[in-house]
Structure 1
Amino acid sequence: MFLYNWSISEALGDLARGGVEPGFATTSRGSNQWAVAPSRSASGNAMLLIDPHLSWWGPSRFWEMRIHAEALSGSGVSLPGFPYIGLGHNAHLAWAMTTGGPDTADVYVLKLNPENPDQYLYDGEWRGLSEQTVILEVKDGAAQTHRLRHSHHGPILAVVGDVAYAAALPYGSESDPAAAWAALNFAEDYRGAEEAAATLALFPQNLMAADTSGNIYYQRVGRVPIRPDGYDWSKPVDGSTSATAWQGVHPSSDHMQALNPAGGYMQNCNIPPDAMMMGSPFRLADHPDYLFASRAYGEQRSGWTNQRGARALELLAADASITIEEALAIAVDLKPFGVDAWVEALAGAMEEPNAEVRALLDWNRQLRRDSSAALKYAYWRFELDGHERTASIRASLEDHYAQAAGREPAIQALSGADQAVLRETFANAMARMQSELGSTEAPYGRVFRVGRDQASWPVGGGGGDRFGLTTLRTMGYGSANDAHERWGRHGQTSTQLVVLSDPIQSWIYLPVGQSDRPASPHYDDQAEKAFSPRRMKPSWWLPEDLANHIASRTVLAYSTRR
């Protein structure tokens, strides 16, 4: 069920765009991915970044996995109970997925019978809603009883007066996720990724892969209904007539895909396909809009990118011979795209920059854990967030899509009123920093931390495009505690860099640790030794590589006895 949350969120987005709030929050999701062809790799091997950004706890928690079982052999991460590598590599192929894809879900508007609200109108006749009672056992709490109702379109999400809203999802008994992951896990080259996509069992994602033969491959995957023309499928659609019924499912051959693009690289950090690379071959006009992009991932289906997408493109396009060390550095890069324009605008708003502003001018613009200038900048952007003029200032200073379009950013001069806002908010931010931390010289890692229970360590990187703090090393932080610390709770979940040499080389880290037992040495060791210093560790996925690093061994004996 976790895998289909993406489609469920799309349906909830349609509902909200129709003016009906679903009544509960959806989960924040994101990821980075990029692939480099041998022509742009210093080693002559393809490279792939796998970098999901999800919650560090709960159903999206990934666990490191190595497996050697005859033809099934590889390294990566997976969810508990799943028999395959979820994201990672085998001996021939590496694969990554990021949120963002075609529109795989719809919401239908149903007219209820005023004399019997358990009936709805369809093609001039009343049909009955089916009903199901579900009892959920809750740990450390009372059981919950829920009444669920379904139309032939799907489950009822909301009822407003005599109108019901039903979600239509194309997944279910018709799709087999295990078949898709089997194709990836047993693949011998990029065609295994094609085979996985062709199952139409993958949730709406950007699937990117690289193989030891030197290929890099992309497909925008999902199980996408063929919709009748003439309707806005990003909002609830009339469900009382068969005229709006789906007309089948798009085969994977209809989906956008690229094999070995001419530029020798591609990236997708939750962005539309037209912003994936310089000179992207993908154009909205060439595809059904719902197949190009769901509005769940951006109100505009094309013509935009985010800070991560712009920064990844900036770094990848500028380096014609990327070394492994450079690739590892890109994976954990700490510069928010567009930061230079903001710092320069602040300095330009001052008649004479004070010491704090001069510190920003001298800053390398990296959100490093040991940087006091980085923390000054973060405090200032938090202060700006609530101001009524911030949106107009952002419109003047930010033009992320220029990077994808291959043009100079269209930065606008600020008005005197906007410059006054920059001065005022910066002064307020420095006063708050002094009040909360006792100094304006505290480093970024004084506030931003990684850890669990009572132990934490300083960490670099940020998240939240609205604050202008998002870096490729993406971090999502909780609210400030009594010590004015913000601890990481989502973001880089299980970052991997894979070099498609023979044999494959790979590096990985988790944000906290592999064990949930407090007494285990692996409870939070990665937070301290890998994640805090941004030091990805070798996967040692081959038995001969692991041999010199075995600290303990557990053998589980298989028995046929019952």
Structure 2
Amino acid sequence: MSRLFRWLMRLLGTVLLFAGLSVAVIYYLASRSLPDYNMNYTTRDVSAPVEIVRNNASVPHIFAENDADAFFGLGFVHAQDRLWQMILMRRTAQGRLSELFGERTVPVDELLRRLDLYNLAQQSVLVQDAPTRKALEAYSAGVNAWLARINNDALGRGAPEFFLFSKEIAPWQPADSLALVKLMALQLSPHLEEEVLRARLSLVLSEDRLRDILPDAPGTGVAALPDYAALFPTAVPSNESLRIAENWLSPFKRRAFAGASNAWAAAPERSAAGSTLLANDPHLGFTAPAIWYLARLELSDGGVIGGTIPGIPSVLTGRSDYLGWGVTASYLDDLDVFVEKLNPKNPEEYETPHGFKVFQTSQSVIRVKDGPDIPLTLRWTENGPVLPPSHYDLGSITPPGHVASISWTVLSPNDTTMSSAISLMRAKTVSDGIAAGERFIAPSLNLTLVDGDTIALKTIGAVPSRAARHQSKGRLPSPGWRAVNRWQGRAGYRVNPEFVAPEGGLLGNTNNKLIDRPFPFHISYVWGDTQRVQRWQHLMQNREVHTRDSFIEAQLDTVSFSARALLPLVAADLWFTGEAAADGTTERVRQRALTLLAEWNGEMNEHLPEPLIYAAWMRALQDRLIRDELGPLAQEYNHVEPLFIERVYRDVDGASKWCDVIQSAPIETCADAARQSLDDALLWIEENHGGTLEYLRWGDLHQATQDHEVLGQVPLLSWFVNIRQSTSGGDNTLMRGRTSGSGRNPFLNVHGAGFRGVYDFADPDSSVFVISTGQSGHPLSRHYDDLGELWRRGEYIPMSLDPDLARAAAAGITWLRPER
């Protein structure tokens, strides 16, 4: 027996030894790709020494004697810290994910090939101005210099992920950066899904009820402060729901996540220090690492500092010594869906205003890891590319004998967006910044600008020119063979909304409605916010003058206007009614929940139970209101629509009809729906989270899910690469934490401000920044998540353009020297 025991111990020791050695080898190989920030490199691609100073948060300050060398340095540091992220984004834009991940990503690749983004990006290189082409070439050379260093010094393939997937990395090219800009545009437009959803709903709802569930944003717009079945009778409702948009690694986001952001500015007369203020926090889906990367470049026109996106040679939100700029999603209607009629005698032809025409076609092949190649025939009409019926359920609204195509500004082969972004970094005044925006094509953004004296907001991005007699006004898929529905070029830049030096001294945007103009000058019927802007107006007008700290306070505000507005309406007949119920009964739990909510101020604080009770109640209420009318279409509404609930409980145009359950004999009232849905919500909380209501924490469910897009799905590895944090905020707070809306926990925080910046031009070097993870994309780096806790607590780091301050706080200095 003792002999057996000794042998078992020896076997166990051997297994542990091999396990330990395996871990050591894996760690060694993975750690080889950790960059050393104190190094000297020689390269033939710079004309003079480039100094890269890293501070203790690993933010690079790039000092060069000319602009080309500065952009070379930016490409070098992007590749050092985010190589895997850059290559993955490039593969996505190229439609080449399946070469790494197999058949799981074939639908994504197919759709990207049909849009032809990468070929369009290659064509767009030729239309950039000379300084931009030079910047793109220098940036690409910087990326490739780091790739060469990886190969020469055996630096662990550049990132740990390349040990699991293909290590072959093609050199970076200027078109790659332009393709990434187009890829970002895919994440910021809700209009394709909005048109299809409106078409599907119009087949099952009356016009009044359609107006309830898809309400127009009310009011005339805020910036500065002081029917489908008739078009296509053969279309029928469909329950089919094939979701490329929810596919793994897909850049196509549901309309609930189609881009959001906050930006606001104060003129000198509304600033305590007598100069301008600017705050900006763009919202995108959370990932680890964050999409944003902080950097400073010293250009010939002066220093520029702020948020960049690895792969794109531009500071997209930030400041120089002269100008600050912030961006928000504009929701400009830059996309139309067309239903194209096929020739019954020849399905290779489609109808145009001048008769049938042959599709423009090309061939492509998707190479699939561990699977056969998939040949594709790509088809384009005069309106744009033909899309598969599975994308956003296009097949459900496309009659037999028809296909769907789209016109979209992002599909331009003459896209000068990058030239616009490079020009913006060189602008010195608000008027210069507005002029730089004229060449911006897509994605459309609201650009908030401040110089030392003036504030302004300008919508940038191409505005399609539509005919006043357009059959659907761009709100529904329309017949592509009718000339009246087709785009007529691009509207002039003057059509883009513009607000300069408003009399009240304050302006901003929370993706809210900016203007109220008649079609076709309307800009959009779909806006991203009707709620946050209410809270923003209150905070801005509540003070005569503002400071950097008051702007930070607004950026971090977690009070929900929606909660304050909806609870008194929904619970009007429930507050403090009835006698005290016995402990353990449904009535008693309901009374306790109502008591908590009655004393709550609407703050979505992570430590409180009330935000969870409110969120679960409104979610259950909306589902109860729409489930019987919409059936399977109810799954399209997995986020609470405050305007819809308000219309129902105010009975606007008879909207209270939603409260009655059609299939039941009794006539239910809205008070019945409120009471029953509260019971449903409390039951869900009890079954899934248990415990006493008073001890629930919103933050336990509302965790920021900053997950690695690939390794985050791998058991065990996910514990090391995913960053989960308890967070405050919610769907409709200024510190926005958009919930997932689906799955076992529909309240996970999956979309929010990955970057925050606040700039005070009375003291520019007091400007502060933060991103939601860390600068590095390497899970073994201490900079992988070091900024994440600051971000969660609402803290920032200072970023100065003073070279002496940067060098005094240096945690590492890299030199790039020209070869002799």
Separation in 2 of the partners of 1:9 and 1:382? 22
Separation in 2 of the partners of 1:6 and 1:193? 24
1:474-493 equivalent positions in 2, closer than 5 A: 474-478=736-740, 487-493=748-754
Number of the residue aligned with 1:553: 813
1:310-329 equivalent positions in 2, closer than 5 A: 310-329=534-553
Kindly indicate whether the alpha-carbon contact (under 8 Å) linking 1:101 and 1:222 is maintained by their aligned counterparts in 2. Answer: no
Number of the residue aligned with 2:266: 36
Equivalent in 432, 438, 443 of residue 691 of structure 2: 438
Amino acid at match of 2:275: N
Change (3 A) 1:198 1:124: closer
Separation in 2 of the partners of 1:181 and 1:522? 28
Number of the residue aligned with 1:134: 364
Deviates more, 1:179-188 or 1:163-172: 163-172
Deviates more, 1:233-242 or 1:26-35: 233-242
Kindly indicate whether the alpha-carbon contact (under 8 Å) linking 1:31 and 1:98 is maintained by their aligned counterparts in 2. Answer: yes
Kindly indicate whether the alpha-carbon contact (under 8 Å) linking 2:441 and 2:461 is maintained by their aligned counterparts in 1. Answer: yes
Kindly indicate whether the alpha-carbon contact (under 8 Å) linking 1:510 and 1:527 is maintained by their aligned counterparts in 2. Answer: yes
CA shift, 1:94, in A, is 1.6
- Structure with the largest fraction of strand: 1
Number of the residue aligned with 1:409: none
- Structure with the largest fraction of helix: 2
1:98-177 equivalent positions in 2, closer than 5 A: 98-137=328-367, 144-157=374-387, 160-171=399-410, 172-177=412-417
Equivalent in 183, 189, 212 of residue 2 of structure 1: 183
Query: Within the alignment, does 1:284 sit opposite 2:536 as a pair?
Result: no
Amino acid at match of 2:802: L
Separation in 1 of the partners of 2:530 and 2:371? 41
Change (3 A) 1:420 1:164: closer
Query: Within the alignment, does 1:233 sit opposite 2:473 as a pair?
Result: yes
CA shift, 1:355, in A, is 4.2
Please give the per-residue CA displacement for 1:225-251, whole angstroms capped at 9, x wherever unaligned: 322331133133443355555433222
Kindly indicate whether the alpha-carbon contact (under 8 Å) linking 1:508 and 1:536 is maintained by their aligned counterparts in 2. Answer: yes
CA shift, 1:342, in A, is 4.0
Separation in 2 of the partners of 1:226 and 1:18? 22
Change (3 A) 1:256 1:481: closer
Query: Within the alignment, does 1:340 sit opposite 2:577 as a pair?
Result: no
Change (3 A) 1:45 1:547: same
Query: Within the alignment, does 1:206 sit opposite 2:206 as a pair?
Result: no
Number of the residue aligned with 1:64: 294
Equivalent in 286, 297, 300 of residue 527 of structure 2: 297
Query: Within the alignment, does 1:220 sit opposite 2:472 as a pair?
Result: no
User: Which is bigger in relative contact order (C-alpha 8 A, separation at least 6)?
Assistant: 2
1:135-534 equivalent positions in 2, closer than 5 A: 135-137=365-367, 144-157=374-387, 160-171=399-410, 172-212=412-452, 214-231=453-470, 232-234=472-474, 235-240=476-481, 242=483, 244-274=485-515, 283-285=516-518, 289-297=519-527, 306-344=530-568, 346=571, 349=574, 350-351=576-577, 354-388=591-625, 393-395=645-647, 417-435=669-687, 436-440=689-693, 441-450=695-704, 452=707, 453-454=718-719, 456-463=724-731, 470-478=732-740, 487-501=748-762, 503=764, 505-528=766-789, 530-534=790-794
SS at match of 2:594: helix
Please identify runs of 4+ aligned residues in structure 1 that moved more than 6 A.
138-142, 389-392, 479-482
CA shift, 1:72, in A, is 5.1
Separation in 1 of the partners of 2:351 and 2:676? 58
Kindly indicate whether the alpha-carbon contact (under 8 Å) linking 1:99 and 1:204 is maintained by their aligned counterparts in 2. Answer: yes
Amino acid at match of 1:381: M
Change (3 A) 1:151 1:558: farther
Please give the per-residue CA displacement for 1:198-245, whole angstroms capped at 9, x wherever unaligned: 214243222221112x21111222212322331133133443355555
Amino acid at match of 2:786: D
Kindly indicate whether the alpha-carbon contact (under 8 Å) linking 1:16 and 1:22 is maintained by their aligned counterparts in 2. Answer: no
SS at match of 2:647: helix
SS at match of 1:297: coil
Query: Within the alignment, does 1:97 sit opposite 2:327 as a pair?
Result: yes
TM-score, L = length of structure 2: 0.58
SS at match of 1:110: strand
Amino acid at match of 2:768: W
Please give the per-residue CA displacement for 1:153-176, whole angstroms capped at 9, x wherever unaligned: 221125743223332234523231
CA shift, 1:374, in A, is 3.1
Deviates more, 1:129-138 or 1:490-499: 129-138
Runs (5+) with no aligned partner, structure 2 = 1-181, 201-234, 236-240, 246-251, 390-397, 581-590, 627-639, 652-666, 708-717
Kindly indicate whether the alpha-carbon contact (under 8 Å) linking 1:183 and 1:195 is maintained by their aligned counterparts in 2. Answer: no
Kindly indicate whether the alpha-carbon contact (under 8 Å) linking 1:52 and 1:495 is maintained by their aligned counterparts in 2. Answer: yes
Number of the residue aligned with 1:535: 795
CA shift, 1:101, in A, is 4.0
Separation in 1 of the partners of 2:288 and 2:343? 40
Separation in 1 of the partners of 2:683 and 2:649? 25
Separation in 2 of the partners of 1:250 and 1:51? 29
Please give the per-residue CA displacement for 1:74-131, whole angstroms capped at 9, x wherever unaligned: 2221222211101222221122222234322333443322222111233443321121
Separation in 1 of the partners of 2:685 and 2:816? 54
CA shift, 1:145, in A, is 4.1
Separation in 2 of the partners of 1:534 and 1:143? 49
Change (3 A) 1:124 1:442: closer
CA shift, 1:294, in A, is 2.2
SS at match of 1:339: helix
Separation in 1 of the partners of 2:299 and 2:462? 31
TM-score, L = length of structure 1: 0.82
Please give the per-residue CA displacement for 1:521-544, whole angstroms capped at 9, x wherever unaligned: 12122222x122122332345333
Give me the CA root mean square deviation.
3.3
Separation in 2 of the partners of 1:416 and 1:241? 46
CA shift, 1:7, in A, is 8.2
Number of the residue aligned with 1:403: none
Kindly indicate whether the alpha-carbon contact (under 8 Å) linking 1:51 and 1:495 is maintained by their aligned counterparts in 2. Answer: yes
Kindly indicate whether the alpha-carbon contact (under 8 Å) linking 1:332 and 1:534 is maintained by their aligned counterparts in 2. Answer: yes
Kindly indicate whether the alpha-carbon contact (under 8 Å) linking 1:338 and 1:398 is maintained by their aligned counterparts in 2. Answer: no
SS at match of 1:554: strand
Change (3 A) 1:359 1:23: closer
Kindly indicate whether the alpha-carbon contact (under 8 Å) linking 2:278 and 2:760 is maintained by their aligned counterparts in 1. Answer: yes
CA shift, 1:23, in A, is 5.8
Deviates more, 1:549-558 or 1:308-317: 549-558
Kindly indicate whether the alpha-carbon contact (under 8 Å) linking 2:288 and 2:773 is maintained by their aligned counterparts in 1. Answer: no
Separation in 1 of the partners of 2:484 and 2:606? 57
Change (3 A) 1:489 1:126: same
Kindly indicate whether the alpha-carbon contact (under 8 Å) linking 2:468 and 2:520 is maintained by their aligned counterparts in 1. Answer: no
Larger radius of gyration: 2
Deviates more, 1:26-35 or 1:497-506: 497-506
CA shift, 1:315, in A, is 1.2
Kindly indicate whether the alpha-carbon contact (under 8 Å) linking 1:267 and 1:313 is maintained by their aligned counterparts in 2. Answer: no
Deviates more, 1:416-425 or 1:77-86: 416-425
SS at match of 1:175: coil
Kindly indicate whether the alpha-carbon contact (under 8 Å) linking 2:765 and 2:800 is maintained by their aligned counterparts in 1. Answer: no
SS at match of 1:371: coil
Change (3 A) 1:456 1:548: farther
Change (3 A) 1:220 1:37: same
